[in-house]
Structure 1
Amino acid sequence: MTHPRTLLQGLVAAMLIGMTGAAQAHFQMLYVKDTALARGEPLEFAVVFTHPFAGGPTMVMETPRAFSHTSAHGGEKIDLRQYLRPVQWQSRENRATAYRASIPREVVRPLGDHIFVLEPEPYLETEEDVYIQQFTKLVVNVGGVPGNWAEPQGLPVEIQPLSKPYANWTGGVFRAVVLADGKPVPFAEVEVEYLNHAVEIDNNTFGQHADVTAPQASFNATSTYADAQGIITIGLPRAGWWGIAALDIGTTKTHKGKPLSQDAVLWVQARDMK
């Protein structure tokens, strides 16, 4: 029989591990300065695997497996890997390999929605001996013309928006449905994290100043669950960028003989009413 003290120590240890995980949530960033554009213009992407609320540490990225673009006009998927270039990204704690991508104006010239998708190489989290692969989406709109922002992209895992990801007022809510192989995932675990440091993209670094001070570590990345239909509703209490990640929802569970967590990530932008 397990001694009560041993059981209590085990529970405390599990709680501490959980709090550490929440405080150090991994997020694949797919960042541009703005997602609601008046007209088509060149886009500069920062592709960084990091902890956005804390501004680091940043994890080393290998060459992404895929980086693509789909527009509302024609729906043809365009391979953007030729525009990726490795950089050394300076976080508040370390420097690690990330990527930049300079997308020419011709790609985003048409009015309407432009969906960007990143499929990274799985990352080995050595502390947990598990691989993490985060399929990440970002939607850019040109000219306010609605388009295909709500259409699934046929990914193994993804977050399908039910609200426009680029047109959100501060204080509103954002709704989406979590999908795996195109089907809703009931009660999926979801983490939400605020990009809490300026992205100095020309210098490949995060700003040192934190916009928000968390009262306690569990506020760094907040958690919720999808409902029985796989739908999530997320509050957006502050202007800026919010990362939403549905965790370990893929049907592929191993990579190179180790456990694999396939996560779906979507970035949304909120703006103040002025």
Structure 2
Amino acid sequence: MRKLFITALASTLFFMFCGSAFAHFGMLIPQKSIITPEKKSTELKLSFSHPFEGQGMNLVKPKKFSVFYEGKETDLIPSLKEAKVMDHDSFKIEYKFKRPGMYTFYMEPVVYPEPAEDNYIIHYTKTVVSAFNEGEDWNKPLGVKTEIVPLTRPWGNYAGNVFQGVVLLDGKPAPFTRVEVELYNKDSKYKAPYECMVTQEVLCDENGVFTFACPKAGWWGFAALNDADYKIEGKDVELGAVLWIEMLPYKNN
């Protein structure tokens, strides 16, 4: 009995200090972050999941889904089609790029109730695509409720590069925000040695800036989490500023 108690206590302490492996991420993943003239379109998939573990959740049609190009926002909701990601309800779109430049895709979901945490979750999610290897002003905010503004160009990065961003909440830097980081482990290629390593965590500094080095090629998600200054049905609301970037491997000659 004493051994059983010690084992249970050790397990409890392990999870207390490691934190939950079940981090939520709004997901907005294109086939590629760089579009070439040979193929002028890409499919984007919208979902809500635990990306490293490959555990999906149902996503209802977003409240908002749009693309920003040269300061103009275009509504893409009418073009969405139903899809499946990780065997759960999601959406997809085939988007054709007509002009060179930087395209920022943005999703604002319907509020998600999370019984396990007794709260509600809203993940304001975005990703950036460079059409024909062009794009400037990638460090300008969209002006949404909360977002990660890149301090490193959000495309054309090698695996192993350091990525930096600043977290904004209501248009202002959010100091000491906790940022959860996960690799989209699409084919379950990787396994974390400990549960606490499924989700990496970093803190922003006093200026709302965080830094993270992405060790593997693939899509990496950054979720900067803050509590809203309001409640829904008396429960806390988690506001997530989510950004997805692609890290690419070096190619052999």
Taking structure 2 as the reference length, the TM-score comes to 0.89
Instruction: Tell me if the contact between 2:84 and 2:90 (Cα under 8 Å) persists in the aligned partners.
Output: yes
CA distance in 2, matches of 1:257, 1:149: 38
Which of 177, 189, 197 is equivalent to 2:186?
A: 197
Residue-by-residue CA offset, 1:22-51 (whole Å, 9 max, x unaligned): x11111110111011123722211111011
Q: Which amino acid aligns with 2:119?
A: V
CA distance in 1, matches of 2:177, 2:11: 25
Corresponding residue for residue 248 of structure 1: 226
Residue-by-residue CA offset, 1:140-159 (whole Å, 9 max, x unaligned): 00122232321100111000
Partner of 1:176: helix, strand, or coil? strand
CA distance in 2, matches of 1:101, 1:252: 33
Q: Which amino acid aligns with 1:195?
A: Y
Corresponding residue for residue 5 of structure 2: none
Instruction: Classify 1:121/1:15 alpha carbon distance in 2 versus 1 (closer, same or farther; 3 Å).
Output: farther
- The answer to whether structure 1 residue 71 and structure 2 residue 69 are counterparts is yes
Partner of 2:15: helix, strand, or coil? helix
Residue-by-residue CA offset, 1:81-106 (whole Å, 9 max, x unaligned): 011123343x2xxx322111222x2x
Aligned length: 243
Which of 191, 195, 202 is equivalent to 1:224?
A: 202
Corresponding residue for residue 205 of structure 1: none
- The answer to whether structure 1 residue 82 and structure 2 residue 78 are counterparts is yes
Instruction: Classify 1:60/1:18 alpha carbon distance in 2 versus 1 (closer, same or farther; 3 Å).
Output: farther
Deviation for aligned residue 1:246: 0.3
Deviation for aligned residue 1:63: 1.7
Which of 231, 248, 251 is equivalent to 1:271?
A: 248
- The answer to whether structure 1 residue 97 and structure 2 residue 86 are counterparts is no
CA distance in 1, matches of 2:59, 2:131: 30
CA distance in 2, matches of 1:69, 1:43: 13
Q: 1:7-22 to 2 correspondence within 5 Å? A: 13=12, 16=15, 19=18, 21=20
Deviation for aligned residue 1:16: 2.6
Instruction: Tell me if the contact between 2:15 and 2:196 (Cα under 8 Å) persists in the aligned partners.
Output: no
CA distance in 2, matches of 1:137, 1:268: 9
Greater shift in the superposed pair: 217-226 or 80-89: 80-89
CA RMSD of aligned residues (A): 2.0
Which of 141, 147, 166 is equivalent to 1:158?
A: 147
CA distance in 1, matches of 2:210, 2:177: 9
| Structure 2: runs of 5+ lacking an equivalent | 1-7
Q: 1:44-55 to 2 correspondence within 5 Å? A: 44-55=43-54
CA distance in 1, matches of 2:102, 2:148: 16
Q: Which amino acid aligns with 1:261?
A: E
Runs of 4+ in 1 over 3 A off after TM superposition: 9-15, 17-20
Instruction: Tell me if the contact between 1:253 and 1:261 (Cα under 8 Å) persists in the aligned partners.
Output: no
Q: Which amino acid aligns with 1:226?
A: C
Identity %: 33
| Structure 1: runs of 5+ lacking an equivalent | 1-8, 199-209
Instruction: Classify 1:214/1:179 alpha carbon distance in 2 versus 1 (closer, same or farther; 3 Å).
Output: same
Corresponding residue for residue 134 of structure 2: 145
Q: Which amino acid aligns with 1:193?
A: E
CA distance in 2, matches of 1:170, 1:16: 29
